[in-house]
Amino acid sequence: MKYNNPVIKGFYPDPSACKVEDTYYLVYSSFQYFPGVPIFESKDLINWTQIGHCLTRKSQVQLDTVDSSGGVFAPTLRYNNGRFYMTTTNDTLRQNFYVWTDNIYGEWSDPINVDQGGIDPDLYFEDGKAFFMSNGIDDYGVSGIVQCEIEIETGHKLTPSRSIWQGSGGRYLESPHLYKMNGRYYLLAAEGGTEYGHMVTYARGDSPTGPFEAYTHNPVLTNRNLGGYELQGVGHGDLIQDHDGNWWLLHLGFRQTGQYLTYHHLGREVFLTPITFGDDGWFTAGHEGTTLLSFETDRITDTIVQQEKKEFTFENTDWNLDWCYLRHPVTANYQLEADKVKLKGTSITLDVPASPTFIGIRQKDFNAIISCEVSLTSGEAGITLYMDENHRYDLALRKHLEGYEIIERLNIGDIKSIEHTKSIGQCNHAALIIKSTPTHYHFYAQIDGIETLLGTAQTKYLSSEIAGGFTGVVIGLYATGESQDFNATFTNFSCIYS
C-alpha cells in the first residue's frame, strides 16, 4: 500500500512508542500546555486515535509561570510486567521524572524523580533491572548519553551515572533510546539540533551498558541535504516492531510552507519510516537514508485505508482529548458543553506566561477555514492563532464605550498592533472567520450574513524560524476582561482542512 506522511499532523513533537499485544501506543511532548503528554493508540501504525494524557493533575507537573516551550520535554513510553511507564523532563525545573499506570486509559501515578540531569530520558528493562538514560553530564564530568541503574519503585540510583556514548560528532546529542534486537543492544539518538540539520544516529554493543560501536554510515536518517523538499528537520525517533516482525521508526519532522520557503509554523509532526536490517546486523532507514512524504510498502496490507479527519467542530471533538489549556487552567472560568463553550475573562492576557482564559486545538494543516460565532457582554473574546506570548494573531470582538467592534491584532515580537477595526454598533454578536493558506492568514468578520475582509498576515511570523521555540500554532478561543460572570459565548466552531 501507499501511505502518506505525516501520520499525525500538527504540533505533536518528540514521539515515543511501545507495542502491547496488538496495539501500538504513542506519546509526545506538550511543553507549557495542559493536560500534559498526549497518548495515542493504533492498530496499524498509520491511523492514530488519541485516548488520553499522562499528566492530568496539577500534582503531577509544575507549569505555573513556565515560559513558552518550557515545561514538559520529550517523553519515553515503555511497558514492563503489565505496567506502563512514561518518563520525561520538566525542563523549567531541570527535573527528570516518571509516572506509571496499570491502565493506559485511566489515571497515572504522581511523579517519581530521578537524580540525573539532562533531558530526553529513557527507560530500558531487562532481567529485573531498570536502566535510566538521558543526555547530559555524568557523575565524573563526562558529557554524552548518560546511564544509571535505578530502583523502579522509588527512582533511587543503584549505580553512578556514567556516559556510555558520545555520539557521531553532531551537536546537541539527545533523545537516547535503548533496544535489544537480534541478540545485540542498539542505542538510538538524535543529533544536529531539532532544526534543519536534525538527524538520527545509532550505535550497537553487546551489553546494555556498552561499550557501543557507532554505525559507520551515520546519520542513518536525515533530510538535511534535501534542498527544495517540503519535509525537513527529520530526527528524534523511536523504533517499533510491528505484528509481522518488521521494524519502523516513528520520528519527528516538519513541513515547510513552500518548496524553497524555509519557514514552518505547524510545529514538529509525526512521521513513519521503514527500517531494514542487513545481513551484518546494521540497519538502514527510509529511502537512501531520507524520509519521504509518502512510501510504497508491502509491510502494510492494502486492506488498511489511511484515514484523515478533515473537519473539527465542538460536536465531533472531545474537550478532554482534542483541546488544551495554557498551563494550569482555572476551571471555574470554563463552561464546556456539547455544542458551545462559555468563557469568563480575567485580567490575565495572552501576553504573559500565565494561564489566561484560553482553550485551544492544534492547527493540523496549511489550508483551512476556521470559523466561530462569538457573543460578548464585556471585555474581549475571539480566536487567536497562538505560537507564543509574543507571536500570535487575534481576531476578536471587543466592547468599548460606544458599543462593540471587531479587531484584527498582530503580535510579532515587540510589535503589537491592532491593524484593523470594524465598528458594529450595539451588536454584540459576530461570526469570525480565518482562511489559512501555507503562506497567509486572511481575517474576516461576518455580520448579518455579509462577510468583510479585515486584513491579511503572513504565516512566517508565527514560524519557529522567527518566533523560536519548539511548539506550533494552536487555534485558541479566549476571553479577557474581569467579569463576575461568563462574558463570552462561542458557538458553531468549525475548522475545515482542504
Any catalytic annotation for residue 174? yes
Contact 29, 16 (CB under 8 A): no
Q: Return left, alpha or beta for 390; rule: phi > 0 is left, psi -120 to 50 is alpha, else beta.
A: alpha
The three-class DSSP label of residue 165 is strand
What is the distance between the alpha carbons of residues 51 and 106, in angstroms, rounded to a whole number?
A: 10
CA distance 88 to 103: 19
User: Minimal CA–CA distance to 99: which of 146, 52, 43?
Assistant: 52
Instruction: Write the DSSP string, 247-306.
Output: EEEEEEEEE-SBTTB----S--EEEEEEEEE-TTS-EEETBTTB--SEEE-SSS-TT---
DSSP 8-state symbol, 111: P
Contact 27, 54 (CB under 8 A): yes
CB contact at 8 A, 419 and 408: yes
Q: Which of 14, 91, 120, 230 is catalytic?
A: 14
Which one is catalytic: 44, 122, 149, 174? 174
State how far the Cα of 330 lies from the Cα of 90, in Å rounded to an integer.
21
> Grid coordinates representing 401?
464605550
Q: What residues are annotated to the active site?
A: 14, 174
